[in-house]
Chain A
Amino acid sequence: QQQVKQSPQSLIVQKGGISIINCAYENTAFDYFPWYQQFPGKGPALLIAIRPDVSEKKEGRFTISFNKSAKQFSLHIMDSQPGDSATYFCAASIQGGSEKLVFGKGTKLTVNP
């Protein structure tokens, strides 16, 4: 059972466009929601993260929107660039315990020039 469901599986966007990736979770004990970016053959790298006490967090071109009642959160990449082409994983964890990350299945983003 996938604890964090991510969509779409793949996404193609034109340069300058907005990329939107959605995630949903079931476990209401999750209280930390990071997004990781992974390039082929590399380790995941933290992009941005949010806690459920805020509904939105923005860092540069990256924004997380969080809907606690719907148990959903999303990543918006503004002004998408070819260099953003990578696989994006949403994740969730429970703070105060082992804090292990539970990942979504990932979204392969391709930004065309």
Chain B
Amino acid sequence: AAGVIQSPRHLIKEKRETATLKCYPIPRHDTVYWYQQGPGQDPQFLISFYEKMQSDKGSIPDRFSAQQFSDYHSELNMSSLELGDSALYFCASSYNQGPGNTIYFGEGSWLTVV
């Protein structure tokens, strides 16, 4: 079965650089979520989109932005990178069919800021 696809899997950037992460949700899923997970930490919600519109916003820095495109793929753009941005970034998707929607996570993108 198709899963959530994230790219790149690993990314190394220097401070103050910009990074873009891509996410391809499971086909026919209409909702995309972005989470950030620091080492040994729980995933923290950043932002979500439903049918290409932002549906909720969490602890996402102003330096970060995201969007969902017409083909439902999503991109997370991170600018002015800081050392503290080093983390595993997960994209997840779900089909909003009613209560108890299962949210499926991708394998994650490792971002290292040096």
A positions within 8 Å CB-CB of B: 31-32, 34, 36, 41-46, 49, 51, 89, 95-106
- Set of chain A residues within 8 Å of B108, measured between Cβ atoms: 41-43
**B31 contacts A by Cβ under 8 Å:** yes
Taking A43-B106, A100-B45 as given, write out 9 further A-B residue pairs in contact, using a Cβ cutoff of 8 Å, ordered by the A residue number: A46-B102, A49-B102, A51-B100, A95-B99, A96-B99, A100-B56, A101-B33, A105-B42, A106-B41
CB within 8 Å for A46 and B55 given contacts A89-B43, A98-B48, A99-B94? no
Q: How many A-B residue pairs have CB under 8 A?
A: 65
Nearest Cβ on chain A to B59's Cβ, whole angstroms: 11
Residue from the list B44, B100, B106 in contact with A95, Cβ < 8 A: B100
**B103 contacts A by Cβ under 8 Å:** yes
Size class of the B contact interface (CB-based, 8 Å): 20 to 34
Please name 16 pairs of A and B residues whose Cβ atoms are closer than 8 Å in the assembled complex, sorted by A: A41-B108, A43-B106, A49-B102, A89-B42, A95-B100, A96-B99, A97-B55, A97-B56, A98-B48, A98-B50, A98-B55, A99-B101, A100-B45, A101-B33, A101-B103, A104-B42
Nearest Cβ on chain A to B13's Cβ, whole angstroms: 19
B104 engages A46 (CB within 8 Å): yes
B positions within 8 Å CB-CB of A: 4, 31, 33, 41-45, 48, 50, 55-56, 58, 90, 92, 94, 96, 98-108
Bound complex: CA A5 to CA B103 (Å): 21
Task: Identify the 5 closest CB pairs spanning chains A and B, nearest first.
Answer: A98-B56, A43-B105, A103-B42, A95-B99, A98-B55
In this complex, the member of B48, B96, B103 whose beta carbon has the largest number of chain A beta carbons within 10 angstroms is: B103
B58 engages A100 (CB within 8 Å): yes
- Set of chain A residues within 8 Å of B104, measured between Cβ atoms: 46
